[in-house]
Amino acid sequence: MRILSCLKENKDLKEEDRRGTQTSGLVIEVGGRKIAIYANSRRHAGENIDELLKARSADLGRPIQMADALAANWSGQEETVEAKCLAHARRKFIDIEGAAKRNGEPPLEANPCTVERDITLLSVVGSILTFEDHFFASCEQEAHPAGNTRYTAIDLTKPGRTLYSPIDYDVDTTKPGKVVQLIDLFDDWEVSRALTADAVIGEFLKNRLGDPPRKLSELPSILGYGTEIGCSNVSGDLLTRFAFHHVEGKRVAVRLGLSGCGTCRECLTQIGILLPIPGSLSKPLALAEARKEGFLLKDMKKILRGRGTKFVFRSKG
């Protein structure tokens, strides 16, 4: 079996090489016929779809790809028409509704749901505010709950709103509104140097951006919906997910929050980097460090004392 061969190969792989094995189930529907493909390998589902689409005639239009929003399902490079969770669910419900009407059956059974949203303030430096946003949703009739946790940094002086996708929780960096990126505040080269020096994502970014790396502003187009590293997802809007942790002399420690994926969907992994303090942040950081104006992530628990904001929505059907 392919999985057994992968296990044998693991002994000879380098530390940075991909070791995990994946199982993908693909169902292809064409002209009323369905073909099921079951694949075991190191490739994610999106990459398996890529391999399949390479053999597709270039004269045909883009196929519709239906899957949930897990980043691994969308890691391929071939162009498809994306039909994520909501489109998939609606199609199935419409099919059932039509069948029920034809057979004179009663309407669909109610499916009560609960949605929770927890907002926690992490750091305040001048006009730069960072909060943690935790989302959880569960319905009685579903395969598994949904959830996500992310850091979001905003600049209160910027116009617009704070928006990101309600499904994958990603920021559209071409229309950021109040959301701010690290490269808006720090030199692109310094951020790139710090990230590539990190043991967790350094090799990953070098492989994606090159060595020396290209501009970090290209991250959204290169990473797209993100790529999984273990239980974490490195998303295209990575540079919007940061908080200021503490000051070390002329440098500031920054924490980047990597959202979880798969069974780790509600988890969050912190990545720490050190950056030279730019002149524009020198005074605000000093005031926040002294807790005179604002505060840093290292002091968050002392200041908030467990306080936060929580929204809970419940539906009857």
| Burial of 255 per CB tally in 10 Å (0-12, 13-18, 19+) | buried
Handedness of CA 160, 166, 171, 174 (dihedral sign): negative
The reply to whether the predicted model has a pTM over 0.75 is: no
Find the helix or strand (DSSP H, E) in which 81 lies.
strand 81-83
Nearest 5°: phi and psi at 248?
A: -125, 95
- Digitized pLDDT (tens) for each residue of the chain, 317 residues in all: 456 777 777 778 776 677 777 778 888 888 778 888 888 777 888 888 888 888 888 788 888 887 776 777 776 778 888 777 665 455 556 566 665 555 666 655 667 888 888 899 999 999 999 999 988 888 877 767 788 899 999 999 999 888 776 556 788 888 889 999 999 999 988 998 888 888 777 777 766 666 555 677 766 666 665 666 777 778 888 899 999 999 999 999 999 998 887 777 788 889 999 999 999 999 999 999 999 999 999 999 999 888 877 777 776 65
Tokens matching residue 172: 């559209």
